[in-house]
Amino acid sequence: MFFWDPVYLIFALPALLLAIFAQMRVQGAYQRFLRVPNARGVTGLQAAQALMRASGLHVNIESIPGQLTDHYDPRQKVLRLSRGVASQASVASVAIVAHELGHAQQDAQAFALLRLRSGLVPLVNFSSWLGPILFMLGWLFQAEFLLTVGIWAFGAAVVFALVTLPVELDASRRAMELLDQTGVLVDREELRGARRVLNAAALTYVAALAQSLATLLYYLFRFSGRRRD
């Protein structure tokens, strides 16, 4: 019901446009640099093995389907690589692998924000859909208690997005340091390409935070208006 509220569109539209732009950027950078071979001819899987040896990391590697589904699982200590990234010797593949190993490095060093994000996952999986439902019920039945609980529940999703952004930025910083120190990418042009891929990916997390904040601000705006009435 809120999607068709003109006031909601005022709050949400800028964040939505940013999200669309971010997805276009990340897809464009990924597709472009996936076609650019790295000078060493190192696949994503080989890059992962080389970077782990150089940094002293020890995690298992698994193959998963999909595109841009690559991730590091801190609970199981597993680096999961999409088949395209694992098998292709491209600048994009190496950049993505290095980023995920940045998360593995965070985990090995007990990076506080990564620990916090991992701890928030079960709560956010529950509250991110429960909050809007409770807020909608509170709006329909004019129940201030449900409105309040809905706002607090959805607030957990905002906190999660707020914590995620610095975690991802730090992983990208670590990735560039690993690539620069190990020489997996051999020249500045390749490193610039890797940075473009990582910067485009980071923008998606900025957009996710903007969307969460826009929705929360809309809820607060409507809640304050209902209380004044």
- pLDDT, tens digit (0-9, with 9 covering 90-100), for 134-150: 999 999 898 999 999 99
Query: Which residues span the domain enclosing 123?
Result: 2-228
Which residue out of 100, 168, 177, 190 is catalytically annotated?
Answer: 100
Distance CA 77, CA 120 (A): 18
- pLDDT, tens digit (0-9, with 9 covering 90-100), for 15-36: 999 999 999 999 999 999 999 9
Quote the number of domains for the chain.
1
Distance CA 171, CA 51 (A): 14
Cβ neighbourhood burial of 58 (10 Å; 0-12, 13-18, 19+): exposed
Whether residue 144 lies in the annotated active site: no
Model-level pTM greater than 0.85?
Answer: yes
Q: Return all residues near 154 (Cβ < 8 A) that are at least 6 apart.
A: 127, 128, 131, 132, 135, 215, 216, 219
- pLDDT, tens digit (0-9, with 9 covering 90-100), for 92-120: 999 999 999 999 999 999 999 999 999 99
